[in-house]
Amino acid sequence: MLRQSLWVLKRPRNRRQNRAFSHQGFPETGRPRWLLSKLWTPTGGVSPVKKETGHDRLVRAGFLRQTQSGIFQLLPFGLRVQQKIEALLDKHMQAIGASRLSLSAFSTEELWRKSGRFDRVAPELFRLSDRRDCSLLLSPTHEEEITQLVAGAVYSQKDLPLRLYQITRKYRDEMRPRHGLLRSREFVMKDLYTFDNSPEAAENTYREVSDAYHAFFADLKLPILVAKASSGDMGGDLSHEYLLFNPAGEETIETCDKCGYMTDDEVMAPQKTNLDPVELSESEHVAFTPPTDEHLDPSQPMDRCACPACREGSLRLSQALELGHTFYLGTRYSKPLNLSIQLSNESQNLVPAQMGCYGIGVSRILGAVAEHKSDERGLCWPRAIAPFEVVIVPTSPVTAQVIDFYDKLAHDGRLDVVLDDRQEGFGWKMKDADAIGYPVIVVLGRAWREGGCCEVQCRSLGLKESIDVDAVGCHLDDLLNRI
């Protein structure tokens, strides 16, 4: 019989020293320690370019890589940001009673023809056939599929209101993918679909979802503005866009400098412009008019046009990124796809359900924040979606004392902390931290080793201060709540 001692691992004499270099977890909770030496962060090998965009900074900081036009691979830090956006959306969607589901990426040409949308959007669809020659497509949106699903399961007003959402990949064959995640061919979206028994109930739902959207964007600390919008191919009677002003945006927004009226350029009524199409008569001196390829549309207002709402102010045109869109659809899909409900037990009359759909671009938010909140040093994430809230950067190699400091800061899970324990110089680590865009950097240098004070840096607030280690946890929490 083998001796028991042969099967027992010897414990190290100095357990404290062994724990200093353990990556397994906290002694108290068992949660893993987040160490940059154990995370794949490919930040080397990509040099800064002139006039660097947010997309360029995401690539340089190791958040994603592009495989082909409009197609991207999300790397670990990019995935952490996306997962935090999704978790924040889960919180706000579930707060209004929405249930999360997952719809297939596949839909059928037959279903889209039945809804009447296929011919209008066919050029942007990825289409394929199975071995039985059934015409399939990769869904750029799921109104048809969700309506068909609910039509087979909901029959009475007792089942309403119903709110269903998903966070999933979508596909659109963009003619010119550009600006990285802002205009790609594969993207992640949150879709909420609502079903009510009357227009009044559907309008109340619309307002409730709008409030949830405002709360979501407030958590991101983004200066979002809401503009009345065109429903476009989606259909419906009411629509609003959630916009972030940025030169990289492709939405043209008209804002009154007097009353605050705001709309996109597709909603503006032609008769309300201060340019009368009748006045655009051909010149009598046409022989002296130089040729031009420019298309003039008198129905579209130009900068400084009169405001159609107050008639006193002037419209200013700005570019913006569309991050969210809400639609009150009415019966646009429920009628052609036979989603009807019985209003009472006594009545056999069926009425089409009142629908709404509400989208937020998850991957687009990732790209938009990178575009909006960055500088020449790198990205600068808000607390809510940063890959990590705090990075600890020691000026010398990691010791047991550094690990103890990390454990005390991160042990209760209140702060999302990572330790840079890589075998690189301090200057390199600091430049890397700036490029990645952690909200707060904690430097452990000589003052920490000799006097118990660490340096706290917050680039977005322009702060660099010395904080006692006993107070640093609460101080960081207060600081992060401001960004």
DSSP string, 223-256: --EEEE---GGG--SEEEEEEEE-TT--EEEEEE
- pTM, full prediction: 0.85
Q: Which residue has the tokens 């454990």?
A: 407
Alpha-helical (H) ranges within 8-100 are: 15-20, 54-60, 76-95
161: preceding bond cis by omega (within 30 degrees)? yes
Q: Is there a contact between 331 and 352 (Cβ–Cβ < 8 Å)?
A: yes
CATH 3.40.50.800 residue ranges for the chain? 27-46+376-480
CA 269 from chain center: how many Å? 31
Q: What is the pLDDT along the chain (483 residues), one digit of tens a residue?
A: 434 333 333 333 343 333 444 555 555 556 789 999 999 999 876 677 778 999 999 999 999 999 999 999 999 999 999 999 999 999 999 999 999 999 999 999 999 999 999 999 999 999 999 999 999 999 999 999 999 999 999 999 999 999 999 999 999 999 999 999 999 999 999 999 999 999 999 999 999 999 999 999 999 999 999 998 876 666 567 899 999 998 888 888 888 888 878 887 665 544 444 444 434 334 333 333 344 454 444 445 556 688 888 888 888 888 999 999 999 999 999 999 999 999 876 667 899 999 999 999 999 999 999 999 999 999 999 999 999 999 999 999 999 999 999 999 998 788 999 999 999 999 999 999 999 999 999 999 999 999 999 999 999 999 999 999 999 999 999 999 998
Number of Cα atoms under 13 Å in the Cβ half of residue 30 = 0
Count CB neighbours of 226 within 10 A.
Answer: 16
C-alpha 444/C-alpha 391 separation (Å) is 11
Contacts 24+ apart (CB under 8 A), 463-469: 469/405
CATH 3.30.930.10 residue ranges for the chain? 80-268+301-372
Q: Is there a contact between 307 and 321 (Cβ–Cβ < 8 Å)?
A: no
Q: Does domain 80-268+301-372 have CATH number 3.30.930.10?
A: yes
Q: How far is CA 397 from CA 16, 391, 393, 429, in A?
A: 17, 15, 10, 12
Instruction: Determine the residue type at 348.
Output: Q
C-alpha 377/C-alpha 381 separation (Å) is 13
Q: Which residue has the tokens 């989606």?
A: 234
Q: Does domain 27-46+376-480 have CATH number 3.40.50.800?
A: yes
**208 is written with which tokens?**
């409730």
